[in-house]
Amino acid sequence: MRKISFKEFIKLTQHLREIAEAERDVVVLDRPPSHQKKEVPLYVPGGATVVVLNDNVTPFEVAVEAVMHGTHLSEAEATRRMLHTHKHGWAAVASYGTRDIAETVAHNIEEHAAHNPNYDHYKPHVPHKGPWPLTCEVMDADQA
């Protein structure tokens, strides 16, 4: 086994992610899909929209996993929506028919991020102590 540089490792990781993403989109005709995730709408007339706000502390992976957990989005779609959050400061991640449902989803996203032990190994490397401060807001769908 040969040692590789950090740059080579990053390239290899990106290449493996591209392969995995390409294989995920392949349609297999000999068996039904085990679990298809429906796309979550970004606008429901008269409803409420969950908006995730960017912060300088919460790792990207934590935010993506929390959004996937709260909204049941696919990993690719959650990543796409969180990239929008990272670039623009906020992004609508899902819209629901009632404000109560949207507030529950927003609460679930925040709680999953705050109490997810999978990424505690990042905590010694950031100045923030305590749970990840990922913040969600609920807006009327017509405002988002």
CATH assignment of the domain containing 89: 3.30.1390.10
Structure tokens at 57: 């502390």
Predicted local confidence at residue 44, as pLDDT: 74
Domain count, the chain: 1
Does 88 fall in a domain? yes
Question: Which of 107, 112, 108 is closest to 131 using CA atoms?
Answer: 112
Tens digits of residue pLDDT in 85-110:
989 999 999 888 889 999 999 999 99
Half-sphere exposure of 128 (CA within 13 A, CB side): 15
34-93 pLDDT, tens per residue? 444 455 667 777 889 999 999 888 888 999 999 999 998 889 999 999 999 989 999 999
Is 52:136 a contact under the CB 8 Å cutoff? yes
Nearby residues of 38 by Cβ (< 8 Å), 6 or more positions away: 72
Average of per-residue pLDDT across 119-143: 83
Tokens 């606008």 locate to: 43
Give the whole-angstrom CA distance, residue 48 versus residue 135: 16
pTM for the full predicted model:
0.68
